[in-house]
Amino acid sequence: MESEAEAELCFPELLNISCRKPASRSRMVLLNILVSSVSVLTVALNLLVIISVSHFRQLHTPTNILLLSLAVSDFLVGLLVLPGQILRKTSCWFLGDLMCSLYKYLAFITISTCIGSMILISAERYVAICDPLHYSIRVTVPRVRLCVFLCWVCSVLYSSVFMKSNLTEHSSCHGQCAIIIDYIVGIVDVVLSFILPITVITVLYLRVFVVAVSQARAMNSHIRTVTLHRSVTVTAKKSELKAARTLGVLVLGFLICFCPYYCVVLAGGSAFYVVYLFYFNSCLNPVIYTLFYPWFREAIKLIVTCKILQPGSSDTNILQRGSVD
């Protein structure tokens, strides 16, 4: 009996100060395979987004810069957070307390940045649809880059304050990387990371949806009477509405993957499986780009065929090539 008990420990030689290994190994193996596949897919797809937006100059627009920021945080989720989550939940933690602290810190930064990027995307679409006359003045590439930079800085600072006590607290046994959150700190995090962002995103996109529907009806009723000059304006409006629809799907996917985790946490239940749904959003985002953005599909073709290595490939008219498909 003693040998069986020791076999279940992460570090049998430490006995009473060693954590026990996770139970049901067959279930853990299946979960490992599934999450590992999602992790690899998340890294590959988001890397394609990063290369596409960074390489092609025509894609250096305010909207795509925000998507680039989201892709970077999603890339880090697939590259570092998901593998760490596999190790934390389905195996013993062999990397020590320092790496555990760094992992938790990185995980909170990526989550905060994802949330911040979604808020910025919602705000950008709000200005584009609800105040199109001032969009080009208010939403410029330098301003969006500054907002993205501030988003990452604020995420780092927020995570530093939030994880201050947690970074110095570790599990009472070896072989576990537990996230220990104070009750008051947890309440503050729920408000700042869940209630407030969800409220802002929902209000902005409800407003965008109402205005977008009214604009679409107006264009449909006057489409036959427009002049050539007006037709260019109508085409531009259609483009903005299509972008609003695509980013609306992106935000909806975020909410579907995001809300269950915090709902379970607020209800006091176990978030063992729900947390993977939250991280799955990082893999879902580039899939949405593939389905709704022809330019992204064209960029993938150029990247996979290594045509981006050719001189002058960064000046490719990627939007026109994508619209042909």
CA–chain centroid gap for 9, Å, is: 35
Q: What is the pLDDT of residues 163-213, one digit of tens each?
A: 775 555 556 678 788 777 777 877 888 888 888 998 998 888 888 888 877
169 neighbors 91 (Cβ within 8 angstroms): no
Q: Count CB neighbours of 76 within 10 A.
A: 21
Coil, strand, or helix at residue 20? strand
Answer whether residue 45 shows pLDDT above 80: yes
Beta bridge partners of 9: 20
CA–chain centroid gap for 321, Å, is: 27
Which DSSP state fits 61?
S
Dihedral sign from CA coordinates of 148, 154, 158, 159:
positive
Which DSSP state fits 231?
H
Altogether, the residues listed in the chain come to a count of: 325
Query: Phi then psi for 9, rounded to 5 degrees?
Result: -85, 150
Q: What is the pLDDT of residues 50-93, one digit of tens each?
A: 999 999 999 999 999 999 999 999 999 999 999 988 888 777 88
184 neighbors 103 (Cβ within 8 angstroms): no
Q: CATH code for 34-319?
A: 1.20.1070.10
Answer whether residue 20 shows pLDDT above 60: yes
Per-residue confidence at 229, pLDDT binned at 50, 70, 90?
Answer: very low
Coil, strand, or helix at residue 163? coil
Interacting residues of 312 by C-beta distance below 8 A, sequence separation 6+: none
Per-residue confidence at 232, pLDDT binned at 50, 70, 90?
Answer: very low
For residue 183, what pLDDT is reported? 75
CA–chain centroid gap for 83, Å, is: 16
- In angstroms, what is the C-alpha Rg of the chain? 23
Beta bridge partners of 174: 18
For residue 166, what pLDDT is reported? 59
For residue 239, what pLDDT is reported? 63
Q: Where are the domains of the chain?
A: 34-319
Taking the model in full, what pTM does it have? 0.86
Cα separation, 36 vs 280, whole angstroms: 11
Answer whether residue 230 shows pLDDT above 60: no
Helix axes 82-90, 274-292, angle to 10 degrees: 150
Cα separation, 308 vs 103, whole angstroms: 34
For residue 62, what pLDDT is reported? 93
CA–chain centroid gap for 136, Å, is: 26
Alpha carbon separation from 260 to 185, 200, 206, 255 (Å, rounded): 20, 18, 21, 9
For residue 268, what pLDDT is reported? 72
Cα separation, 117 vs 123, whole angstroms: 10
